[in-house]
Structures are given as structure tokens and as C-alpha cells.
Structure 1
Amino acid sequence: MTVLKSLSGALLAVTLVAGPAAAQDPTFFRIGTGGAGGTYFPIGGTIANGISSPPGSRACEDGGQCGVPGLIAIAQSTTASVFNNAAVQNGELEAGLAAADVTRSMYLGEGKFEGKPHPNLRVVANLFPEDLHLVMPAGQSIDSLADLKGKRVGIAQAGSGTQVAVLQMLDAWGVNRDNMDEAELNNSQSAERLADGQIDAYFYAAGWPVAAMVQLSSTKGMALHSFTDDDLAKINGIIPAYIPSEIPGGVYEGVDSAVKTPAVSALLNVSSELSEELVYNITKALWNDSTRKMLDNGHAKGKQITPDTALNGIEALGVPLHAGAEKFYREAGLLK
């Protein structure tokens, strides 16, 4: 195999197993994730470990790695969905985690991406639901998003799918950059600013439990906004990819009741430029027993990443599966 791209940026979440030297050349496979305080980063690291099997590794049957022979997958921390999809389109990353709504808009060149389609985007799998967290100081509450007018609000970092969706939602309640004091921050920065009283609320879409929020809730304390059914229906009408969901009570210390909130699917995307054989082998490794154990024993959302839900919503999304992934799902009987 050949090297897809020269390495750049931080090299993270890679597990190299010592073994005898091999003539086989490594294939480097970079996966764009998100900030360290969110969910994309740990999930991306688990996937990278699961699909890797560097040259010289022990064979799977001998207790070694059970990924793609010769593959070294690397999870890179990024600003998430928009950045990851753009980097996959441009060949700067081989793969990336991204929200379904952002992926559709970028692939088709719609909405914020009007006239700028990203035709190279291809889907490998639907991974897990990302619940929108609207975080406030402990004891604080709002009746609706309209109450954020005039407030200091974290809208997630530029280049994230959360920010794209949140600005659409806020606009429907008459809130925008002109009448709120917005802060473009990642999840960890937002939690720190909220704890210090520098912002009044912040948004972040991620699979629960979110590490930065676990720490915030157990130290300074926090509250989560629970949306009404009517608000959830309104949001779904604005952004169809965001569907009603629920964060169970007890996930975060002090948040004892279930929280109604919109959620969007997180996807694993790759470039159409990657070979069918490579993506077939990566998809196969993603769903093998070894990777299954890693997902089950890692971040809590890992248990929700299953082959039975891998194709949920993909047909309606309008973004094609990669031919290699499609081949695997047909052979596995998951796609007719």
C-alpha cells in the first residue's frame, strides 16, 4: 500500500504494537474529530485504534491488532464538522466525523454553503445521536430561546456543525449576532467561561456524557434547558436532520430529570477519491469483534455505534455511501 498523504498536525490516538520489521509500507489514514472536551475526539480515537494494524504488528489471531493490515489511523483534533468535511473534500484528511445536517448541506451546496457543493463527500456509517446541550449556570432557566436576547451566549466554535445549526435555531426566535453577545468557543472553553461567570449560556451538540460538562456539573454545577414539544417540532421544521431526543436524568450531577432536546446523527465520512478496496477493509474492521470491544469499553456513546444502526437515515440524507462501504453492507446483508 502507498502513503495517502504526508502527516501533518498533531498525531493522536494511535496505538503502535511492537513487532518484527516488515517490508510492507504503511498507509496513514487521518480522521478529523473535534475538541478534546467533546465526543468526536474520544470516539474518533477508538475508531482509529480499531481500524489500525501497523506494519510489524502481531497478527489478530495472535493477540495483535485486528484492523486493516499496514494501516496507521490517526485521530486529529479539529474544530469538527464543517472543517472535517471541507478537509475531506480537499484531500487534507482521509476521513472525518461530522453532523448529518452539515454533511447534507455541504454535499449539495445548500444553505450556508449555497453554490459551494462538496461532491467528494461519501458516508461510511451513521455512528450515534448528538444531543444539543444548552448549558446554563446551576439554578438558572429560560422559557424559550427568545430569552437569550441580550445575553452572553457561547455558540460553539467557527467551523463546527453546532454553530451552523444553533444560529438557524436562534434566528427563528428572533435572536442573532446583532442582539446577543456571542462567543465562538469550543466546549472546554465554554464550560470554563460559564463557570467563571463570563457567559450566561452556551450550546454544544455532542453525545452524552460530555467530559467538559461532567467536570462542570461536579464542580461549579450547571443546568440544562429542556425544550418543549412545540419547540422541538419547530426546530425539526427548520432543520429536518434535528429530531426530538432526550438526555436521561442523572447523566450529569445535579441534572436529575430527563431533558428534552433536539439531536442530530454523527457520521463517519470519507472521500470518494479513496479506493473501494481500502474503504471496504476499513468498514469491515470498524464492525469486527475487536473494534466492538473497544467501542463498548470506551466512551459511553460507543455502545450506540452498531452495524444495525449504521445505515439509519442514510438513504434520506441524500449523500451517497462510499462504494467500499456499500460493498461491505451488501455482503453483510445490511443493504439490499
Structure 2
Amino acid sequence: MICKKNKLVFLVFSILVSAILNTSFLIVNAQNKQDIVIGTGGTAGTYYVVAAAMANAVNQNSDLVNVIVQPTNGSLENLNLVHNGDIQMGMSNSDGVYFAANGTNTYESVGKLNIKGLMSLYMSAGQMATLRKSGIETYADLKGKKVVLGPQGTTIVEMSKAILRAYNIDPEKDITPFYLSFDEGLQKLTDGEIDATFFVAGVPTSAMINATSTNDIRLVDISDEIVKTISEKYSYYKPYVIPGGTYKGIDEDVNSFKIMTEVFIGADVPEEIAYEFVKQALEHLDEYKESHVVAKEISLEQVAKTSAELHPGAKKYYEEVGALD
């Protein structure tokens, strides 16, 4: 009797397990989506805002991919995470993508990273913020000051150092350098712990909007002569003027540089995944172009102009829509 009961229990259990497995199988196939992670930057920065809006549009319209947005320390971390296969996509300034894809500059000692180009999005601007009461008006005034140059090892640091050197300021000897994230730099500035902080972001960026709402901040201007010198030496730095009135209390135009923001992807990511992401992101651009003013810059005319060789999936889509013509 006990044996029959055990057999009955086992039979019922087997039926239940089979039903659960079949149900799970149906759910997986009904969703039929593959998670892909995109590395961005701090949650207050432009990378994160634009990527989150783009991911939402892709997820709402794709039957193949589900994009997960991951906050990071920015370009350098994103490039390393994608190269190592920890995430599938990332955002970076174009100089970082170029250096990584070609194994130059920052990556000279490690060689080419395992990445491909995906999308060229919008321009970001280099911005040096200081409190007006500091008396700092030009980069020349930074000598002897405590200055955040950007996160350690990033292309942001490369840009800030290039500007300082153009003013004959040694970034290691003539200032006290700090290597912090965008958010950390602004926080230390408003707390009075540093004199100035450099960052690269879309214009405007929410972190600066928040900071200028409660603090009297100045953006440090670059002279026309230095702008010309640097843009001629580094072709990827383009002259840019941050319009007066962009941020509260900053009514004057400010000379700076702009650089393209790109989305790159792991070279080993399947072609159909890259194709699907690009297709949905561009065909549903209207759904997120109002998420930030810089998203309005995304267009077929520039999206395929990446600093790394295009991923085959992206190239396939761009060929179909004539973006490579």
C-alpha cells in the first residue's frame, strides 16, 4: 500500500514538474528576448539619460533584445567591460573609441581592444567649472590650484591635460590634480574642497543645471588662440562655444571644445543583435529625441561615422537605409 502511494506521489510530482517546465518554456519563447547591457556613466550625466531613453524605445519595440542600462564611471570602464565581455555595449567619447580600436595612446601597452563601432550620436563639450568667488577666470589662473582633471585614465583627463599644457601649466607639477568622476568633482567643488573641476558632457547636463541652481558657478573660458592651437594639433577636438544662458548665472559665451559621443559594441556580439539594436534605436528616434537636447543631434547623416570599424550588424542596417552613401 505504501509502495502504491509512493508511486502515486511520484507520478503527481512528475506531472507537476513537467507542467512547470513546459510553462517556463512557453514564457521564455513568448518573450524571446536576449538581455544586452550598455555601460553609460553617472546617473546625473548625459550618457545615462540618453542611453536610458534610447533603451526604453528599443525595448518597447523589439521582439529580440532587452537593453539594460548600467551606470559606470564612464568611457574607460565601458571600454574595458566590453573588451572583457562583461557587458555588450558601451558609450565613450570618440577619441577613446579610436585609441581602443587602434591600440594607441592609452592602449599602447595593451594593444587593440575587442570592440567595433555601432553608432555615432552627438557632440559633448569639455567644461571647466569653478565657483565665481574663486577668482579663476582663465585656465592660466588654475596654476597652484586644486583641480579635478576627470576620472583616472580616461580620455577626459587627456583633454583637460592638453588644455593645461597649452597654457604652459604642467598638470602634475603646477596644480594639485584630483582624479574624480563628474558627480564627485562637482560635489567637491560646491563643498569648497577643490578650486575647479573638468568634465565632458552634453550641453546642458543635468548635474550642472542642479549645481548652478544653488551655487554661483563660472565656466572657465579658453582663449581663441589656444582653441586654434589645440584643434589643429588634435583633430578630434572641435572648437565649440557654450552659449550664454545655458546654465543659471552663466550669461557669457564660453569657448571650449566638443567631441563626438559614440556607442560601441563587442566584436563578438552576434550580427543580428547589433542589427536589431541599431534598427530599433533609429526607427524609433522620435520616441526619445526629446529626452535631452543632445538627442536631437542623432541623425542618419552622422550615425555611421564611428571611430572604430563598424560591426557587421550595424553596417548591414546602414547599407539598407543608405547611411553609408
Sort the TM-score into its range (normalised by shorter chain).
Answer: 0.7 to 0.9
Structure 2: distance between partners of 1:159 and 1:38: 19
| 2:253 is equivalent to residue 246 of structure 1 | no
Match of 2:29 among 23, 32, 52: 23
Aligned pair in 2 of structure 1 residues 184, 150: CA closer, same or farther (>3 Å)?
Answer: same
The 5-angstrom pairing of residues 34-45 of structure 1 reads: 34-45=41-52
| 2:56 is equivalent to residue 49 of structure 1 | yes
Structure 2: distance between partners of 1:213 and 1:183: 19
Aligned pair in 2 of structure 1 residues 159, 47: CA closer, same or farther (>3 Å)?
Answer: farther
1:105 aligns with: 99
SS state of the match for residue 212, structure 2? helix
How far apart are 1:266 and its partner, in Å?
0.4
TM-score computed with the length of structure 1 as normaliser: 0.83
Is the Cα contact below 8 Å between 1:34 and 1:77 reproduced in 2?
yes
Is the Cα contact below 8 Å between 1:141 and 1:225 reproduced in 2?
no
Is the Cα contact below 8 Å between 1:79 and 1:160 reproduced in 2?
no
Is the Cα contact below 8 Å between 1:154 and 1:184 reproduced in 2?
yes
1:148 aligns with: 142
TM-score computed with the length of structure 2 as normaliser: 0.86
Match of 2:317 among 304, 328, 336: 328
1:229-264 per-residue CA deviation (whole Å, 9 max, x = no partner) reads 211122223432111012112110011122111111
Specify which structure has the higher proportion of helix: 2
How far apart are 1:141 and its partner, in Å?
5.4
How far apart are 1:139 and its partner, in Å?
5.2
Structure 2: distance between partners of 1:130 and 1:231: 19
1:230 aligns with: 225
Aligned pair in 2 of structure 1 residues 97, 190: CA closer, same or farther (>3 Å)?
Answer: same
Question: What runs of 5+ residues in structure 2 fail to find an aligned partner?
Answer: 1-25
Runs of 4+ in 1 over 6 A off after TM superposition: none
Match of 1:302 among 271, 285, 295: 295
Structure 1: distance between partners of 2:89 and 2:98: 16
Aligned pair in 2 of structure 1 residues 292, 263: CA closer, same or farther (>3 Å)?
Answer: same
How far apart are 1:161 and its partner, in Å?
2.6
Matched to 1:266, the amino acid is T
Of structures 1 and 2, the larger Rg is shown by: 2
Matched to 1:282, the amino acid is F
Match of 1:84 among 71, 74, 78: 78
SS state of the match for residue 233, structure 1? helix
Matched to 2:145, the amino acid is K
Matched to 1:40, the amino acid is Y
1:118 aligns with: 112
**Which segment drifts farther, 262-271 or 70-79?**
70-79
Count matched residues: 298
Q: Percent identical across equivalent pairs?
A: 27
Matched to 1:325, the amino acid is A
SS state of the match for residue 235, structure 2? coil
Matched to 2:274, the amino acid is V
The 5-angstrom pairing of residues 264-303 of structure 1 reads: 264-289=259-284, 291-296=285-290, 298-303=291-296
Matched to 2:67, the amino acid is A
SS state of the match for residue 67, structure 2? strand
Is the Cα contact below 8 Å between 1:129 and 1:207 reproduced in 2?
yes
